[in-house]
Structure 1
Amino acid sequence: MLEETLLAFDYGTKKLGVAMGNTLLRQARPLEIITAATRIGRFGRIAELLKEWEPDRLVVGLALNTDGQDQYATLKCRRFANQLHGRFNLPVVLVDERGSSMQAQQIVGNAPDDAIAATIILQRYFDAQSSAQ
């Protein structure tokens, strides 16, 4: 398998957590939280990150109910993933994000950290790839 750089997103209507990692080390790390108020601002910052990190693939956390069923936020996550693919022409993978915000909250305390949640989502992707091989 070729080494790939990945960026992951914890999608939220007010902010986006961003993490990065690569398939060689299979370790995710938090990058930042995008808080731009407009869609143009958000995608502008994403474009800057893509230019800086040159990822081969993007990962987006998919919000699901605790029973695995779609919810309102699921549609927003799918739409965001489709927009990423359409705008930047990169493969986008959806990863179940159930519990990632609570896990992030346990790590950092108080309010959940969206960049840590994105890191958890990307680490789940790496772990799933490892167990599939």
Structure 2
Amino acid sequence: MKRILALGLDVGQKRLGIAGCDGTGLIATALTTIKRSSFQQDVAKLKEIIVERQVEILVIGLPYSMDGSIGFQAKQVQKFAQRISQALQLPVEYVDERLTSVEAEAQLKTQKRFSSFQKELIDAQAAAIILQQWLDERRQN
């Protein structure tokens, strides 16, 4: 069975939530959050994780509008994804990320791992939800 080496990203203006999965592709786990600075520094930090985890694909949450259209924020994410894909020489797949931050916050609250000052935890958990959706869709197909 082929190992699944994917990294999930929740792309925000201030932070990048990062999630990884086990090699079987069953479980996504929140890993970390990168505080965004320059594009070059974002790429360097991502590259460290990608090399360590032998990542072969990036799964990026696309923030569609509630009506399903691609708005300003989604276009910004797509631009970033294209640049990061070229810089890291990795393919990108998108997952609808509507309401993942709300879901992430709810999950963290039930696990008693959350305070409203810990936005980094929400971003990493949202990345895990994005990656888990992608893994689940792959298994179903």
State if a TM-score over 0.5 links the two structures. Answer: yes
CA distance in 2, matches of 1:75, 1:88: 20
Paired position in structure 1 for 2:44: 44
Correspondence 1:115-130 to 2 at 5 A: 115-130=124-139
Deviation at 1:8, TM superposition (A): 0.8
TM value normalised by structure 2: 0.87
The residue number in structure 2 matching 1:19 is 19
Q: Which runs of 5+ in 1 are unaligned?
A: none
1:8-66 CA distance string (max 9 Å, x none): 10000100000001451421001100013222221110111111111111100001111
TM-score under structure 1 length normalisation? 0.92
CA RMSD after TM alignment: 1.5
Percent of aligned pairs with the same residue?
30
SS of 1:67's partner is coil
Residues 6 and 21, structure 2, Cα contact 8 Å, conserved in 1: yes
Deviates more, 1:35-44 or 1:100-109: 35-44
Query: Do 2:95 and 2:130's aligned partners in 1 also have CA atoms closer than 8 Å?
Result: yes
Extract unaligned runs of 5+ from structure 2. 110-114
Question: What letter is aligned with 2:7?
Answer: L
